Amino acid sequence: MNDLDKDLASYKPRPSHEVSTAFTHRIVDHITNNEPAHRSSHFKEFFVNIKLHKSAAVLTAIAAVFLIGGSAYATDGFTKLPAFLNAFFAGQSVAPDKSRIVAIDTDDCHVDYYGVSGNKASGDRRHLYRIAEESKVTADELLQMVQGNCEAGDDTPDQNASKNSQYAADFTAKLGKDFYEVTPCNTDPSGYCSVHTDTSSDTADKKSATRTLVESAYSTYLDAYGSDNTSTIQTARETFGNNFAAAGLKSKIVKNPYSYDAVLCAQGTPLSIKYGSPAVSGKTATMILTMNYGESNSKVTVTVDTSSNKISDITCSF
């Protein structure tokens, strides 16, 4: 454990006071007065909310919910499920980078940006999603995934549960890959919709993640490698393989019985390593490392699978 690890472990931000003495009591009070739990009727909660709000806007929303939620239709193999929580398609446009921006309004539904359903939100909320240019996901499919993710986290009629569960799983699997939630362009000072879901998912962050991964992998490797002791070298290889390499590459590195090293593409330890800028293409990033051996240099190309943040290949060129 290095010094920073020790400092972080010994430091813990602490609020100026503990939780109030009524903390647990308030929770018990709430759940006691809002039974039945676990399978409470969302229909009932919905109308409780309506009574509380009593606004024309909410009544309009109810009409929309009944009209759209009460009907069932099929689009592209996705079946719209009758529901009291709903997601509405609100428009689509094409961004300068050819990705599609899809606006989806959710009514009384919460979809958070980690793709996990959280609390039921009150009122409407607009979500903007950017569908990557190369993705085949359609706006209708995205709408259904948002709807399913919303429904899966709340009380849902049993006959829809498995379908919603599948939509929610699709949503979680594709968020950050096929599509990203973005901030509204008109509130973004840059004038462009910025991704704020998975920061490793856009090109800039893929580059940053790749640089960090490769530099960490090689600096760790050299620290542990600097010895003629065979077991030390083998330990370094295993550490590299376990922490930084994809499965296929790991076996190539760890099982390497030769003095020629598959990580460094050399038989000796370089004096220094110069790290080039990563280049990103889809889910793959490559980075060229220049190994400085004093009178000579060698080039090593490191390939990173950005979806798993693992080094997937190392190729040598001289």
Partner 1 sequence: MQDMTEHELIAHSLQHNAQAYAVLVERYKDAIYYHCFAIVRDEDQAEDIAQESFISAYYKLDQFDQSRKFSTWLFKIATNNALTHIKRSKRTVNASEEQLESIVSPHTTPHRSAEHDELHRAIAKLSPRDQAIISLHYWQGLNFKEIAETLSKPEGSIKVWILRAKEQLRKELG
CA distance 182 to 127: 8
Window 39-68: residues binding partner 1 (CB under 8 A):
39-40
Window 73-112: residues binding partner 1 (CB under 8 A):
110, 112
- Can you tell me which of 16, 186, 190, 267 binds partner 1, judged by CB under 8 A? 16
Window 197-216: residues binding partner 1 (CB under 8 A):
198-200, 208-209, 212-213, 216
What binding mask, one character per residue, do residues 181-200 give for partner 1 by CB under 8 A, x or -? ---------------x-xxx
Window 114-153: residues binding partner 1 (CB under 8 A):
114-116, 118-119, 153
Q: In terms of CB distance, is 15 or 96 closer to partner 1? A: 15
CA distance 292 to 147: 55
Beta carbon of residue 280, minimum distance to partner 1 (angstroms, whole number): 15
Beta carbon of residue 210, minimum distance to partner 1 (angstroms, whole number): 9
Q: In terms of CB distance, is 8 or 72 closer to partner 1? A: 8
Q: In terms of CB distance, is 17 or 98 closer to partner 1? A: 17
Beta carbon of residue 288, minimum distance to partner 1 (angstroms, whole number): 20
Q: Is the distance from CB of 81 to CB of 72 less than 8 angstroms? A: yes
Q: In terms of CB distance, is 8 or 52 closer to partner 1? A: 8
Please state the length of the chain.
318
Which residues touch 144 (CB under 8 Å, ≥6 apart)? 75, 78, 80, 167
CA distance 257 to 234: 9
Beta carbon of residue 51, minimum distance to partner 1 (angstroms, whole number): 20
Window 288-317: residues binding partner 1 (CB under 8 A):
307-310
Report the candidate in 26, 241, 282, 175 with the shortest Cα–Cα distance to residue 167. 175
Q: Is the distance from CB of 145 to CB of 153 less than 8 angstroms? A: no
Beta carbon of residue 42, minimum distance to partner 1 (angstroms, whole number): 10
For residue 173, which phi and psi values (nearest 5 degrees)?
Answer: -70, -35
Query: Looking at 152-283, which runs of residues are DSSP E strands?
Result: 179-182, 272-275, 279-281
Q: In terms of CB distance, is 26 or 274 closer to partner 1? A: 26
CA distance 79 to 93: 24
Token code pair at residue 216: 């960490």
Angle at 206 between CA 313 and CA 297, to 5 degrees: 45
Q: Is the distance from CB of 142 to CB of 89 less than 8 angstroms? A: no
Beta carbon of residue 246, minimum distance to partner 1 (angstroms, whole number): 9
Q: Residue 203 in 3-state DSSP?
A: helix
Number of residues that bind partner 1 (CB under 8 A): 54
Q: In terms of CB distance, is 109 or 139 closer to partner 1? A: 109
Window 155-174: residues binding partner 1 (CB under 8 A):
172
- Is position 27 an interface residue for partner 1 (rule: CB under 8 A)? yes
Q: Residue 232 in 3-state DSSP?
A: helix
Residue 202 region, left (φ>0) first, then alpha (ψ -120 to 50), else beta?
beta
- Is position 243 an interface residue for partner 1 (rule: CB under 8 A)? yes
- Can you tell me which of 21, 32, 231, 267 binds partner 1, judged by CB under 8 A? 32
Chain residues binding partner 1 by CB under 8 A are 4-5, 7-20, 23-24, 26-28, 30-32, 35-40, 110, 112-116, 118-119, 153, 172, 196, 198-200, 208-209, 212-213, 216, 243, 307-310
